[in-house]
Structure 1
Amino acid sequence: MTAVEPADAQDSLSEPFLVRHLVALGLAVEYVRAEGNILYRRGADGAELPVLDLVGGFGATVLGHNHPELTRYAAELLDARTPVLAQFSLHPWADDVARKLNAVLHREFGTDEPYSVIFANSGAEAVEAAVKHAELDRVMRVEALRREVEDGVREARTAVRGGAALDPAARAALTAGSAGVAGGDGLQDAEALERLVREVAEADAPHWDAPPVFLAAEGAFHGKLVGSVQLTHNAAFRAPFRALAAPCRFAPLDRPGRLAELAREERRTVSALTVADGVVGVTARELPRVGAVVLEPVQGEGGIREVGPEFAAQAARTAEEAGCPVVVDEIQSGMGRTGAFFASSLVGLRGDYFVLAKGLGGGLAKAAALLVRQSRYRPEFEMAHSSTFAKDGFSTRLAGRVLDLLEADGGALYRLARDTGERLTARLEGVRNDFKDVVKDVRGRGLMLGVEFHDPAAAGPPALQEHVRAGTFGYVLSGYLLREHAVRVFPTASATSTLRIEPSVHLSEAEMDQAESALRGLCRVLRDGDGDRLLAG
């Protein structure tokens, strides 16, 4: 099967650079219809040609393309002239979604603490909202500490005027003129106090307004917007924009203790004056520094890598010790794809914040949500953050229906995702066992799976080796599977030798047969070193 290049592909004014790469890789295909796990493209004779879609909108079509009940409901909403944009009014449908999300969360985590829900249009936007809320909370805690320090100075002045003396250690800390104030009378203590206040203020000044630092895992992907891209480990995405937002530090998944080390390295304190038993002393106070610990239960763009219980537990401990929230990014892993609504519930990681997107809109609407634990929620955020198209009447109603479908029959779709994923994984493991020199690993959970390939031998065609060096080898594999087997897959963004497989929960046995046959065909070509066939367009 040969992909048909669009007539205007080379002249595209929408992402022309990307279009040229799609043409070169054999991926320049226009799809004209979608249903279930199938995308249809137009053939040279005008006929529709089916393509098995294992990309699934990067995880968005957990229920499949154009799910019949969702499309009927969407049509009803449009026919009824349902208001889409009605800002600064009541939103009962958004409230309904929030209640349903809380019910799921309470069931899977065994908690009754409510979570407030902030709506967004995309996963990256919801991550930005999480970063903003965490920073608002941190700044408010910094300001509260600043007021305590200022109150401590006033209390110390009052105490010295009443005859209190400076603690000898505080007196010794003065860097200049200590000998001139070594006595104990009130005047000398007052002068020493004012000098101490000035020196402490000067020493602490750089810390008060220092930006926060965030902690995440190596391989993390949390979006490509100004703030979220700094939480994304891939330097190619992050480094050009590092001056635009707060920095992030990353810990390897196989070294959970590194998270705590990073938090300690970023620790900052300020000095506060205290009065006890008629003596004015100085004590160190922890300054809120870490904005949040951000974590995907299953890394999507990092190569479909699961976060283990030990790393998850360390993330929770580190956040508690740093006084910051754990932000659990369920954008790709959530909505039932892994066999539970929240993949984090499978490793015992209860977030202070949860971020949902992709599947929340049922593959039809752009919908995302940030859930914030009530004990950490700042109501001031409601006036500090807004988004014109978030929380609109169309997407929230669809999201509510999506949640109904997922929760129906006691969560039957979660069990279906788990069982289908196990059968599909067994097939992929069979391919790996038969082609161990080609397939390096099969991993993931439920219907969020990755197949990692060994790099081809250096003796292959120079053009193929160039793709290996450029990090586009996985896209060459994708082009071959599309061209020769009518199967659509893509590599993960930061681990491009790993092909992601994220179909809907309704993947059939026949579709599994097609996927397995296609992968076996690809493996034979790779095993035979037939690079020219891989690159044939």
Structure 2
Amino acid sequence: MSIEITREVKNVRNQQVTEYINKVLNLIEKENITQDEAAWITKETVDGFREHVNPGFLSYRKTVTKDGQFAAVEWSDNGACFKDVNGKEYIDCLGGFGIYNVGHRNPKVVKAVTDQLKRQALHSQDLLDPLRAMLAKILADITPGDLKYAFFTNSGTESVEAALKLAKMYSERTTFISTTRAFHGKSLGSLSGTAKGMFRKPFLPLIPGFRHVPFGDIDMMRKTFEVCSAVGEDVAAVILEPIQGEGGIILPPENYLTEVRELCDQYGALLIFDEVQTGMGRTGKMFASELYGVVPDIICLAKAFGGGVMPAGAIVAREEVFKSWFPNPFMHTTTFGGNPLACAAAIATIGVLIDENLPERAGRVGEYFLTKLKEAAVGHEDKVLEIRGQGLMIGIEFHQDEIGYEVSKGMFDRGVLVAGTLINSKTIRIEPALTISYEEVDQVVRTFQEVLDYVKA
């Protein structure tokens, strides 16, 4: 009898779930929604985050937005902007932490993914999938120096994990050097290279063998190499962001990356560049390493690699390094990495970046943006400490965290989305689509100036 009751309850519940699913799918299908539907979506979203996702996100949004804006629910996007469920448009200067380099829903990327979806979504895992081979060839052609072989992932932290494992297998060493203010991800291996104590402490001990030195301090880097060599803990690799993103958009000192490369060569260590945020045209070159004339042994990609349409990442390595995985290609794998949809998105993305000259455009627009932001900050030196950046990777650092929060809040209320960086909370980032128009840049600058005039130091 109790089994029958349980079945009856389960049948009722399944019917309710089915009705709910159909309602959601019908809303997804609609081009336009009513005010009542927008209100229902907002309520379901807020309730869902509170009860089933993580209520901390609601608390966070309340701290960086005004009044009821914390409940803003994004619904559609295009170009350099997105709209919330009520139709309010925002210029996106957060850019999903740098994923929308070719713009929101770039039509060429969407078409490539849609076309591939009509044919095959995922691969069998056993046969040879063509797009993975073709994308790997393209990467060998566009990455710096003699980088040649690619392994595909789904995210930035997965790319870093792959790079660390490859470096260990190649070198048979276990020591890694990372830097202060570094961010390489939050899975266990990449978190070991990440610098912020708040992210690390709950999960200690992490992967052993990681040493952190100040970013930009070549003397400390050299001394660390010397000590590691002296005590028999030779360095497998140095992992660096050419420009630190979450650290607060920190540019390296002159010749720093060149000297790190020389140290790696001297001690037989690999150089891993984490270009998850700096890659794919963001800094004015296809890869930031090109800005400094330094070729790494392994480069990590993700974020914008999937064109803002598909989650996608990769590492590309020199043959001498990558051949460690030749004898057994199953030493490191991922089910969805390099799937046909992600590869189609990445191939189309690279095509758009090259055809539309977006890396070069990012350099020009970024220089204009940086100049205008600095002009807008004149007279507000008591609030703004420094504005710095390269290409369309710009950081605005304030004297106090609270000022940064108030500026972010004020800009969001006026239709511009920005956000702080994860390691340096005094700095807010400006990372819009590389397709952002000069008119949109001017609007962001005007908004920034209005908010600076309003916010008290």
Deviations 1:69-122 (CA, angstroms, capped at 9, x unpaired): 2122222222x23241321221221111111111112xxx4x4x3521010000
* Equivalent-residue separation in structure 2 for 1:61 and 1:371 (angstroms): 21
Residues 166, 321 of structure 2: 8 Å contact kept: no
| Residue of structure 2 in register with 1:130 after alignment | 163
- CA 1:244–1:254 in structure 2 vs 1: closer, same or farther (change >3 Å)? closer
For residue 12 of structure 1, give the secondary structure of its aligned residue in structure 2.
Answer: helix
SS of the counterpart of 1:233?
A: coil
Match runs of 1:371-520 below 5 Å = 371-377=316-322, 378=324, 379-380=326-327, 382-408=329-355, 412-455=357-400, 468=401, 474-483=404-413, 485-520=414-449
Q: Provide, for residues 451-489 of structure 1, a one-character-per-residue CA deviation record: whole Å limited to 9, x for no partner.
A: 11122xxxxxxxxxxxx4xxx663443222212x11100
Cα distance in 2 for residues equivalent to 1:104 and 1:38? 29
Task: Output the CA distance in 2 between the equivalents of 1:508 and 1:69.
Answer: 19
Q: Is the contact between residue 227 and residue 246 of structure 1 (CA under 8 Å) also seen in structure 2?
A: no
**CA-CA distance at 1:42 after TM superposition:** 2.5
Of 244, 257, 261, the residue aligned with 2:219 is: 257
Identify which of 194, 197, 221 aligns with 1:235: 197
CA contact 2:377–2:449 (8 Å) conserved in 1: no
SS in 2 for 1:503: coil
Preserved contact between residue 452 and residue 499 of structure 1 (Cα < 8 Å):
yes
* Structure 2: gaps spanning 5 or more residues: 1-38
Q: Does 1:54 align with 2:93?
A: yes
Question: SS of the counterpart of 1:62?
Answer: coil
Query: When the two structures are superposed, what TM-score results if normalisation uses the length of structure 1?
Result: 0.73
1:325 paired to 2:254 = no
Aligned to 2:453: 524
Instruction: Give the 5 Å matches for 1:71-90.
Output: 71-78=110-117, 80-90=118-128
Distance in 2 of aligned mates of 1:307 and 1:28: 38
1:197-236, Cα deviation, whole Å (9 max, x unpaired): xxxxxxxxxxxxxxx2211222111001100011111111
Q: 1:385 to 1:86 in 2, by over 3 A?
A: same
Alignment of 1:339 onto 2:284: yes
Percent sequence identity is 29
Aligned partners of 2:131 and 2:343 also within 8 Å? yes
Residue by residue over 1:401-422, the C-alpha shift from the partner in whole angstroms, topping out at 9 and shown as x without a partner, is 111111226xx22221111111
Contact 2:376 2:448 in 1 (8 A): yes
**Structure-2 change in CA distance of 1:117 and 1:214 (3 Å):** same
Q: Is the Cα contact below 8 Å between 2:167 and 2:321 reproduced in 1? A: no
SS at match of 1:418: helix
Deviation at 1:250, TM superposition (A): 2.0
> Which range moved further: 68-77 or 93-102?
68-77
* RMSD (Å) for aligned C-alpha atoms: 2.0
CA 1:217 to 1:381, structure 2 compared with 1: closer, same or farther past 3 Å? farther
What residue in structure 1 maps to residue 304 of structure 2?
Answer: 359
**Which protein shows a greater Rg?**
1
User: 1:251: Cα distance to partner?
Assistant: 2.1
Question: Secondary structure in 1 aligned to 2:374?
Answer: helix
**Structure 1 residue 117 and structure 2 residue 116: aligned?**
no
In structure 1, list runs of 5 or more residues that go unmatched: 143-211, 270-286, 456-467, 530-537
Task: Check 1:380–1:135 CA distance in 2 against 1; reply closer, same or farther (3 A cut).
Answer: farther
Give, in whole Å, the separation in 2 of the partners of 1:501 and 1:419.
15
Report the Cα distance in structure 2 between the residues aligned to 1:345 and 1:480, rounded to whole angstroms: 36
Query: Do residues 91 (structure 1) and 53 (structure 2) align?
Result: no
Q: Could you tell me the TM-score, scaled by structure 2's length?
A: 0.85
Conserved? CA contact 2:302–2:314, under 8 Å: yes
The whole-number CA distance in structure 1 between the counterparts of 2:147 and 2:189 is: 27
Instruction: Tell me the distance in 1 between the aligned counterparts of 2:355 and 2:422.
Output: 34
Pick closer, same or farther for the CA change 1:127–1:482 going to 2, 3 Å: same
Partners of 1:114 and 1:300 in 2: how far apart?
A: 23
Which structure 2 residues correspond to residues 246-325 of structure 1 after superposition, within 5 A? Answer: 246-268=208-230, 287=232, 289-325=234-270
Structure 1 residues 288 and 352: CA distance shift in structure 2, 3 A? farther
Output the CA distance in 1 between the equivalents of 2:298 and 2:269.
11
